[in-house]
Amino acid sequence: MSAKPSIYYACTLPVRAGGELVNFQHVASLRKQGLRAFVLLDPASKVAVPSQPYSVPMVHWGEHVAFSPDDWLVVPEVMPPQSFEHLATLPCRLVIHNQNPFYTFRGFVDVVSMNAYRLAGGLCCSQFTRDTLLRWGSTTDWQVVRPMVLPHFAQAATQATPMHQIAYMPRKRPADAAALKTLFRALFPEHAQVPWVEINNMTRPQVAQALAQSRVFASLSRDEGLGLPPLEAMAAGCLVCGFDGGGGKEYATPENGYWVAEGDIEGFARALHTALMLDASAQDAITSAAKAAAAAYSEANFDRELASAWQHLLGQQAHAFQLPKVPSERGEA
């Protein structure tokens, strides 16, 4: 542990979800900006597993870890109640990184309990998430830091020729995915031979390649704080059809995709048909608008919003968290 005040993000390895990867990105960005930030790993994490691409300093959580009142600890909204009870006994300042408002009550029984908890602030992934939490009665001072769409997706779009196929991620809606495929083939038998490419257990570059090779992405988003998969598909040049998942309302417009009302499986099937039948010029208009929307979620914008959020949180104490410029930060702890 550092004798100087530091920022710690509670993380786990191997990374199993996009939100877990985003926490590593936060630490990498803060280090790049010259702030003393570390990953604090779950004790069961397997560091040897190369599941994330960020070379950031990592500390295993254990009895040897002693926080000071000047340290900041960032934890996810999905921590269970007993973990929040333990965290309340620590002397450091606590921040929740809420990447999905619909998961908020995995850690707190209600908003009153969350408001009574000693939070020094909050980070969230979208204006949708912030507005939702405030509408529900949260009194936390939420700072919006939108995640980045990795450059793999835009790069893949320049290297692949889309095929007449549909990419999809059924994890959050397996029943809806099955119903959609059945209805689509019943309503439009002319598309019976169109392949459906399931995206599951792939690396980010593999996901990018699968998307860039697919004419259409069927968005099965559900209860999202933002929803990165549709944005990644948009960056990769797909025609996106389907649900915005709630958080996708931040970027979904009639110009950049065929978005349908929540639960409208028939409308979804018809949107897929429309997308597959578009001529080249109509495709180009929609994919151009989609790429422009995804481009707003750049690394530069992510870095800027994260820097602003932590400047707000740290206030006049921000200078105390600066890494030394010389010598090298190698070995800094």
Say which range, 27-36, 57-66, 293-302, has the weakest mean pLDDT. 57-66
| Residue 51 · residue 13 · CB < 8 Å | yes
* CA 171 to chain centroid: 15
Of 145, 143, 18, 11, the C-alpha closest to 73 is 11
What the chain holds in terms of domains, given with CATH numbers, is 7-148+298-321 (3.40.50.2000), 152-295 (3.40.50.2000)
d(CA 99, CA 146): 9
Please, which pLDDT band fits residue 49 given cuts at 50, 70 and 90? low
Contacts of 188 (CB under 8 A, 6+ apart): 269, 272, 273
Q: Examine the pLDDT at 64 and tell me if it is beyond 90.
A: no
Q: Examine the pLDDT at 48 and tell me if it is beyond 70.
A: no
User: What are the tens digits of pLDDT across the range 96-123?
Assistant: 999 999 999 999 999 999 999 999 999 9
Mean pLDDT, to the nearest integer, of 130-156?
97
Say which range, 43-57, 129-143, 222-236, 245-259, has the weakest mean pLDDT. 43-57
Between the two ends of the chain, the Cα-to-Cα distance in Å is 6
Per-chain mean pLDDT for the chain = 92
| Residue 260 · residue 241 · CB < 8 Å | yes
**How is residue 41 annotated by DSSP?**
E
Tokens of residue 191, six digits = 């598309």
* CA 244 to chain centroid: 14
C-alpha dist (Å) from residue 176 to 171, 234, 236: 10, 22, 24
Please, which pLDDT band fits residue 326 given cuts at 50, 70 and 90? low
Mean pLDDT, to the nearest integer, of 318-327?
83
pTM reported for the whole predicted model? 0.91
Q: What are phi and psi of 227, to 5 degrees?
A: 95, 90
User: What are the tens digits of pLDDT across the range 164-206?
Assistant: 999 999 999 999 999 999 999 999 999 999 999 999 988 889 9
Of 169, 297, 284, the C-alpha closest to 237 is 284
Q: Examine the pLDDT at 17 and tell me if it is beyond 60.
A: yes
- Amino acid letter at 62? G
With 0-12 / 13-18 / 19 or more C-beta atoms within 10 angstroms meaning exposed / middle / buried, residue 2 is middle
The pLDDT value recorded for residue 54 is 65
The pLDDT value recorded for residue 65 is 84
The pLDDT value recorded for residue 12 is 85
Q: What are phi and psi of 243, to 5 degrees?
A: -90, 145
Q: At what angle do helices 299-314 and 18-32 cross, to 10 degrees?
A: 70
Mean pLDDT, to the nearest integer, of 313-333?
76
Please, which pLDDT band fits residue 325 given cuts at 50, 70 and 90? confident
**How is residue 246 annotated by DSSP?**
B
User: What are the tens digits of pLDDT across the range 213-267?
Assistant: 999 999 999 999 999 999 999 999 999 999 999 999 999 999 999 999 999 999 9
